[in-house]
Amino acid sequence: MKSVEHWINGALTGGDPARTAEIFNPATGEVSGHVALASAADVDAAVAAAAAAFPAWRDASLIKRSQVLFRFRELMYAHRDELAALISSEHGKVHSDALGEVARGLEVVEFACGIPHLLKGGFSEGVSTRVDSYSIRQPLGVVAGITPFNFPAMVPMWMFPIAIACGNAFVLKPSEKDPSASLLMARLWQEAGLPDGIFNVVQGDKVAVDRLLEHPDVRGVSFVGSTPIAQYVYETGTRHGKRVQALGGAKNHMLVLPDADLDLVADSAVSAGFGSAGERCMAISVVLAVDPIGDELVQKIVERVDGLVVGPGDDPKAQMGPLVSGPHRDKVASYLDLGVQEGAKLVVDGRETPVLGGGRASETPGFWLGPTVLDHVPVGSRTHTDEIFGPVLSIVRVSSYEEGLQVINGGLYGNGTAIFTNDGGAARRFQNEVEVGMIGVNVPIPVPMAFYSFGGWKSSLFGDTHVHGTEGVHFYTRGKVVTSRWLDPSHGGVNLGFPTNG
């Protein structure tokens, strides 16, 4: 049985042993270890270590910081298989998918290696007679990241490479469901030469989150998770005077126009709907099929779903693994009956899916549910609007582009969406009219590259700054403008008027 601890000031610590939580192997349903749940005192110790380490790291040269990031990138790359195996063992996703999340996270590290360029300010010579002005951006101090279970490596890597490159000290509070990846990353930071105290990990739950949100020395909080908690984190953190970016849940629609290539659409819908068992905030969970292509498209989707191989994450033949926990699997599975009660047609029932090395999903030990397809899902039903966050693909029939757009814009969330069409004019209109933050045109999961910023609209993001890219640099720094005059023999004397340039 493994025991997962905190990482504070460059060392593992069990902290307050009063509370722990179980860690599961989702493929078997067995308990594989325990994770410490931080007390407020444990959080205080991590923040104190970060605050003590911050001044020297802030003063480290840009090149020195960038060199540490380069070394971290190389170490992470060398350990990518180990990291992916850890993710798979606690989250359940298949190894290739876990490797993919490590690769996408590493792109943010690569972006942050360019921090000397990213932190360049502006300079204006002669804003007034012999007066110059320039802008600089400085780190905030101690910043925290609170992350969800579904990307235990990538989502923290949306945050900490940029925060640390900017000169901040970071405290990560990972999901208690899959906490081990955070400790491997902490060890690799140390090996890369990052000073102790600049990257800390507190394992835990609401107790740790609440202490981070109220701690006076935490200046900024990045959060990714479900919408109710994102809203809570945003409101609580800002009430305590912090800058907060809080990314929430999603319900992503794919609008398919009749002129689209339906084989491409079916491949894309199945890949984006069932990759990582649908536990992705950018998963496609609703296909809006514009008449008259619905029946043909559903047939093509079902053909592909029937060929999917479901099995444990460490089995190279498996394309889709289990869900993260028993309660989550039960909640997702409850939508199969609810969907039918609400008027949908259950075209593929994931409870019947065979599991490699087991039997039907519903009878195999572990947190299994196979890919499920519900057709004719009524607009506005709970199956349509709730974030199910599992391998359930809903097909909604609409009569026109306008009706499809209305369905998307009528929703609570605005994380990602995609249009599939061969009509450039329709695609351009869609990107202009849709109220969503990340849009794919014939691309099903339009996750922005590291040098752009990731974030949704409406209830998918609280705060105004998206993560990573230049918005990430902006979030983890604050600006100063310096106006300077070097004394000159004719400096002009006293003048009580408001300074104007001249």
H/E element, 484: strand 477-485
Q: Closest CB to ligand NAD among 65 and 104? A: 104
Q: Measured between alpha carbons, how far is 319 from 306 in angstroms, rounded to an integer?
A: 12
Contact status: 120 vs ligand NAD (CB under 6 A): no
Contact status: 250 vs ligand NAD (CB under 6 A): yes
Query: Per the omega criterion (within 30 degrees of 0), is the bond before 489 cis?
Result: no
Tell me the CA distances in angstroms from 270 to 38, 50, 91, 213, 454, one per residue in order. Answer: 39, 44, 21, 39, 23
Q: Closest CB to ligand NAD among 95 and 468? A: 468
Contact status: 92 vs ligand NAD (CB under 6 A): no
Site residues (CB under 6 A) for ligand NAD, limited to 421-480:
456, 460
What string marks each residue from 215 to 234 as x (binds ligand NAD by CB under 6 A) or -?
A: ---------xxx--x-----
Contact status: 249 vs ligand NAD (CB under 6 A): yes
**In whole angstroms, how close is the CB of 108 to ligand NAD at the nearest point?**
13
Which residues, in sequence order, are bridge partners of residue 30? Answer: 25
Q: Closest CB to ligand NAD among 99 and 281? A: 281
Helix (H, G, I), strand (E, B) or coil at 275: helix
Q: Are strands 131-139 and 123-128 parallel, antiparallel or unpaired?
A: antiparallel
Q: Which of 2, 64, 120, 206 binds ligand NAD (CB under 6 A)?
A: 206
> What is the 3-class SS of 128-147, one letter each residue?
ECCEEEEEEEEECCEEEEEC
Q: Which of 146, 163, 260, 395 binds ligand NAD (CB under 6 A)?
A: 146
H/E element, 387: none
Pair 167, 57: CB distance under 8 Å = yes
Output the CA angle 181-157-185, nearest 5 degrees: 35
Pair 298, 376: CB distance under 8 Å = no
Q: Measured between alpha carbons, how far is 30 from 296 in angstroms, rounded to an integer?
A: 42
- For the question of residue 166 being annotated catalytic, the response is no
CB atoms within 10 A of CB 397: 22
**In whole angstroms, how close is the CB of 90 to ligand NAD at the nearest point?**
12
Here the tokens at position 249 are 């849940």
Pair 346, 382: CB distance under 8 Å = no
Please give the DSSP secondary-structure letter assigned to residue 394: E
Q: Which of 186, 387, 414, 421 binds ligand NAD (CB under 6 A)?
A: 387
Q: Which of 22, 132, 196, 205 binds ligand NAD (CB under 6 A)?
A: 205
Contact status: 389 vs ligand NAD (CB under 6 A): yes
Q: Measured between alpha carbons, how far is 63 from 46 in angstroms, rounded to an integer?
A: 26
Site residues (CB under 6 A) for ligand NAD, limited to 30-49:
none
Q: Which of 25, 39, 66, 150 binds ligand NAD (CB under 6 A)?
A: 150
Query: Of the ranges 85-93, 98-106, 173-181, 374-382, which one interacts with ligand NAD (CB under 6 A)?
Result: 173-181
- Which residue's CB atom is positioned nearest to ligand NAD? 225
Query: Of the ranges 243-251, 286-294, 354-362, 425-433, which one interacts with ligand NAD (CB under 6 A)?
Result: 243-251
Q: Which of 175, 245, 353, 453 binds ligand NAD (CB under 6 A)?
A: 175
Contact status: 420 vs ligand NAD (CB under 6 A): no
Residues 61, 67, 69, 74, Cα dihedral to 10° = -170
Query: Of the ranges 1-9, 147-155, 438-446, 488-496, which one interacts with ligand NAD (CB under 6 A)?
Result: 147-155
Q: Closest CB to ligand NAD among 260 and 467? A: 467
N-to-C CA span, the chain: 73
Q: Closest CB to ligand NAD among 221 and 336? A: 221
Helix (H, G, I), strand (E, B) or coil at 107: helix
Contact status: 176 vs ligand NAD (CB under 6 A): yes
Please give the DSSP secondary-structure letter assigned to residue 195: P
CA-atom Rg of the chain in angstroms: 25
Q: Which of 7, 57, 111, 149 binds ligand NAD (CB under 6 A)?
A: 149
Query: Of the ranges 7-15, 30-38, 41-49, 244-252, which one interacts with ligand NAD (CB under 6 A)?
Result: 244-252
Indicate which residue of 143, 224, 260, 281 is catalytic: 281
Q: Which of 449, 445, 419 is nearest to 434 (CA)?
A: 419
Residues forming contacts to ligand NAD in the complex (CB under 6 A) are 146-151, 155, 173, 175-176, 205-206, 209, 224-226, 229, 247-250, 281, 387, 389, 415, 456, 460
Residue positions annotated with a catalytic role: 281
